[in-house]
Structure 1
């Protein structure tokens, strides 16, 4: 499965970068259209364009794999279909920041098989960083291996969260 995980990680890396270019183009050309989902969360034309790019790439390369996306789920939740390969997508994480021209947003794609995540990529185009990880193979940022820092106490750590 590790060989497949490397293949999937490479694919995820490629597709998040392609989607990243598209959402930057949409913002640069001032073509952002904003709507609201339930609970008042915003969704933009860039969210939907990124989602479409990623879904079409997956369908083309892995037509038998499932897709679970923040924007379009194809009934995965309702059917509780989590067996086999399932791509998990957040086509534009940080939509509020994106829509306000703040650089803190990303495109996230991962793949799980039977509920176990094997590979994924997160691309923050404005920051120029891409993270890619493989189960059992570590993670990289822009190709450089990442390392975990260990702390003795929680007060030494930095913890953050955000809510819409």
Structure 2
């Protein structure tokens, strides 16, 4: 399995870089924008083109492997994480950023076996930063080792979060209530990169001490979750319990002390699980 995982890692890096080139080229041209679940849940032809490129490329190399892809699921395919070798793909994490040329756009590729992520690759296309991790082998950015922040004082921390695409007033109120609670701890600041994958890589890089969100999807965080843990951090549910990648709730932190303080400030709600959504509607 070890050698086969290295083959998967090498291929994931190569296909992520190829996908990133498509994204970079598209930024210079016309970006036709469409919507999915709401007026702020955006998708472009580039999202669809990149996912098709990744899946077709991987199928040629690994014909028996399964896939969970954001755009495939949006088109009606099942979002089911099994014990089988599975590629979990977000072709453009940060589509809204992409549409507006906001410079944080990532290709995220996770690979799981027995429902456990074994390989994680996040390519920040516009920064040309390739984040990689293999379980038990550490995390890296452009080949350099990553290490989470050593900060233990939440008052001297930066916390990352996102606002999501759900504009239901009750959900929005809970999101802002959580942010207000965190800000008033106080912390040095609250930041938002506009992409879950890059937020998690910022935790792994030691740039921020924690990232939390409710409402993202498994393809947003599968790769990043391994990168954080392999950089010495931890990944939990926002209630402090064990993370479930299908639950659409995550807290990534540099250490348990910071995580426990953030957990106390988050106003909880439960979005529909990824494996329970009816994506055909």
Q: TM-score, structure 1 length as denominator?
A: 0.91
Post-superposition Cα deviations, 1:89-129, rounded to whole Å, max 9, x if no partner, equal: 00000011111111111000010001010002111111111
Q: Provide the aligned length of Structure 1 versus Structure 2.
A: 161
Task: Give, in whole Å, the separation in 1 of the partners of 2:89 and 2:125.
Answer: 16
Task: Give, in whole Å, the separation in 2 of the partners of 1:151 and 1:3.
Answer: 36
Question: Which residue does the alignment assign to 2:125?
Answer: 125
Q: TM-score, structure 2 length as denominator?
A: 0.55
Does the 8 Å contact 2:81/2:115 carry over to 1? no
Does the 8 Å contact 1:23/1:49 carry over to 2? no
Post-superposition Cα deviations, 1:3-38, rounded to whole Å, max 9, x if no partner, equal: 22222111111111100101111221x231110001
Task: Give, in whole Å, the separation in 1 of the partners of 2:120 and 2:143.
Answer: 14
Does the 8 Å contact 2:50/2:91 carry over to 1? yes
Matched residue SS, 1:67:
strand
Task: Give, in whole Å, the separation in 2 of the partners of 1:18 and 1:44.
Answer: 18
Does the 8 Å contact 1:13/1:120 carry over to 2? no
CA RMSD of aligned residues (A): 1.5
Does the 8 Å contact 1:132/1:139 carry over to 2? yes
**Larger Cα-atom Rg:** 2
Task: Give, in whole Å, the separation in 2 of the partners of 1:23 and 1:63.
Answer: 25
